[in-house]
Amino acid sequence: MKESLFRLIWILLLGMVSTTSLVVAQTANVQASISSNTIGTEESVTYTISVSGSDGSNLETPTAPESDGLTLIQALPSTQRSVSIVNGQMSQSFSFSWIYRPTREGSTSIGVATIKVGSTEYHTSSASVTVVPQNQRQTQRRQTDPFSSLFGNTTDPNPEPPPAPDENDIFIRATPSARSAYQGEQVIIEYQLFFREGIQLRQSRLTDSWDAEGFWREELDVETRPIPRIVIENGLRYNTIVLKRAAVFPTRAGEMSVDPLKIESEALLPFGSRDPFQSMFSLRNRFSQVQLASPRISIDARPLPADAPPNFDGAVGKYAMTVTADRTNLNVGESIQLSITISGKGNLATLSSPTFVVPNSFDLYDPEISSVLERSGKELSGSKTFRYVLIPRSNGSFEIPPIEFVHFDPGTKSYRSTKTDSTPITVTGTATTPDVVVATTNGMPVDDFAPLFTSASNWKEASPTSLHDSYWVYLLVLFPSILLLSVVVVKQRRDKFTQDISWARGRRAHPLSKKHLKQATALLAAGNVPGYFEELERAVLGFIGNRLNVAERGLTREKLDSMLAAKGVEMELRDRLRTLLDSCDMGRFAPSSVTPENMESALDDASSLIPDVDEQVAP
């Protein structure tokens, strides 16, 4: 009886421990954020509570926190649910948002909010908001007539500039994997773009060449069309994407720096104008130019330890070596392929082959070198293979001595050596013996002379046609002149293409635009809406850039319009061009809002714009 009671108590204790572990495993993560730390007197601020780690079944809707200097617009929060699947595992997150308006200028605050997940209560931290006069925010002036943008009455003799983002709205962060490294050690630098939720970007481009003087650098792969990831920084919600990832290797010891990564873009802020019609029909006027630069990165490159082995040749990283021979039994005159493969993580591009000695009876040829680099991961890795060809000149049993590869491992801060076993080789057969050559008294070989003719029976009569009567003789004489003239003509045309850039781009304008329009038609048939509008924009802007001899990449809409106006292009045609480019932006960044009729109309507009522009800018 006592034993049964003891077992029952033990089972109950195990159940309590399992239940406790389950509760701990389901602990939720609660974070609060605000849309902006600084707002104008006519703007609003959004307060959001995000909950992750819960399936929502035990989540209670929270109440809005109290505020000082702010008034709540709606009592019920706006809710949102997000579902993501990573490596086959599904995770959910929930958010609750309220909108507050300021009642005065100065420092205001939003108090602590309480949210209940199951039986556990979570409390957020308070948030501070600074309210400044609206004219300090440089927001767009609110129109008195909300329907004026619909009927074209949008002319403003003194338009206010669009709101410009500050350093807390959008910035680039550069994150190196290490601030101190050995000479030749791999350092990964990742550049991430952070921008506030609601900010739209377009026409982003590099404005300067990114350089890393004193480093060997290798580019790593990043997503060409990345999906922004939501993070919270200093209480604010940001979207973040990876702009660039590179592996750099210091080539010398000392303090060195990597240049900032600089980009230029056009940004549309979600706050500013409170006119809904202006937001819908005047997006082009609300984009502002932004120039961003990451901070300069300093890396301290340390020299390698002085106790390097004799066979060390500068390899730094984590490597392994394999040596294989395609065969070890062969005949005299046949070949052996000896492959030395070094694989691992490090600067494979600068690796040199390990030195080794072959028997004197073998001829050794320079190696064929091939590399396979893996750039899609967080580090640069891969393999490098050296393939040598060896040919024996005599038979017998031989041996290729062990091959040693020495490298420095930064992880263990020591030199490591990999040494293979010797490779035995058996050669059979005999070498061919050269024939004995009889020499004359003056040393010249007899075999190099043709024998004397002893009979005229094999002689043939020469052709009765004289050489000067054959037409092919004159063709042979004229052929060098014709060939030289052709070379001169081709060279002159090639020189004109390389020296007269304007003429060359003008010649290529129509073929390139037709190529892009054809590609756009194929993308339209395939249902690729963003790619379709991107090809349309490239067709039109590429044609204009070639005809005007300007680089179309990096051109703002205002600069493009002024250049066309300087060339005498009519206002009506320039308006058509702006409308088409706006349609392309809408199709690329909001494809779900585009109808098939809009896509067909855009193709017709692009096809007609190109000849119309060509007619008005033709010299």
Q: What is the DSSP string of 385-421?
A: EEEEEEEESS-EEEEEPP-EEEEEETTTTEEEEEEPP
Closest to 107 in 3D by CA, of 66, 62, 69, 149: 69
Residues 96 and 79: their CA atoms lie apart, in Å, by 5
Size (the chain), residues: 619
CA geometry: angle 447, 453, 459, nearest 5 deg: 130
pLDDT at 189: 95
Contact in structure between 357 and 327 (CB atoms under 8 Å)? no
Walk me through the domains of the chain, giving residue ranges and CATH numbers: 29-136 (2.60.40.740), 170-302 (2.60.40), 317-428 (2.60.40.740), 501-617 (1.20.120)
Q: Is 234 left (phi over 0), alpha (psi -120 to 50) or beta?
A: left
Sign of the Cα torsion 425, 430, 434, 436 reads positive
Place of tokens 């005809």: 547
pLDDT reported for residue 286: 67
Bridge partners of 94, per DSSP, are 51, 81
The residues pairing with 220 across neighbouring beta strands, listed in sequence order, are: 245
Dihedral of the alpha carbons of 330, 331, 332, 333, in degrees to the nearest 10: -80
Beta strands at 180-182 and 297-302: parallel, antiparallel or unpaired:
parallel
Across 525-534, b (16+ Cβ under 10 Å) vs e yields eeeebbbbbb
* CA dihedral of residues 594, 600, 601, 604 (deg, nearest 10): 150
Q: Are 70 and 45 in contact (CB under 8 A)?
A: yes
Residue located via tokens 């119309």: 612
- Distances from the Cα of 128 to the Cα of 69, 113, 581, 597, angstroms: 10, 14, 41, 48
Q: What are the φ/ψ torsions at residue 547 (nearest 5 degrees)?
A: -70, -35
Which contiguous run of DSSP H or E holds residue 372? strand 368-374
3-state secondary structure of 509: helix
Residue 85 has which token pair? 């699947």
- In this prediction, the residues of the chain whose per-residue pLDDT falls under 50 are 1, 14-25, 139-157, 272-285, 434-443, 446-448
Q: Is 261 exposed, middle or buried (0-12, 13-18, 19+ CB in 10 A)?
A: buried
In the chain, count H helices and then E strands: 9, 32
Q: Rounded distance, CA 184 to CA 197, Å?
A: 40
Do the Cβ atoms of 385 and 351 come closer than 8 Å? no
Distances (CA, A) of 210 to 180, 246, 256, 294: 21, 11, 15, 11
Contact 104, 69 (CB under 8 A): yes
Q: Which of 288, 312, 208, 300 is nearest to 253 (CA)?
A: 300
Q: How far apart are CA 604 and CA 190, in angstroms?
A: 43
For residue 259, what are its two tokens? 């240049």
Could you tell me which of 357, 199, 170, 212 has the C-alpha nearest to residue 286?
Answer: 199
Q: What is the DSSP letter of 439?
A: B
Check if the beta carbon of residue 70 is closer than 8 Å to that of residue 129: yes
Are the C-beta atoms of residues 508 and 558 closer than 8 Å to each other?
no
| The dihedral formed by the CA atoms of 218, 220, 225 and 231, expressed in degrees to the nearest 10 | -120
Q: How far is residue 395's CA from residue 361's CA, in Å, rounded to a whole number?
A: 9
pLDDT at 384: 94
Q: What is the pLDDT of residue 149?
A: 41
Q: Which two tokens stand for residue 176?
A: 């190196």
- pTM to 2 decimals? 0.50
Residue 417 CA to residue 307 CA, distance in Å, equals 13
The three-state secondary structure class of 4 is: helix
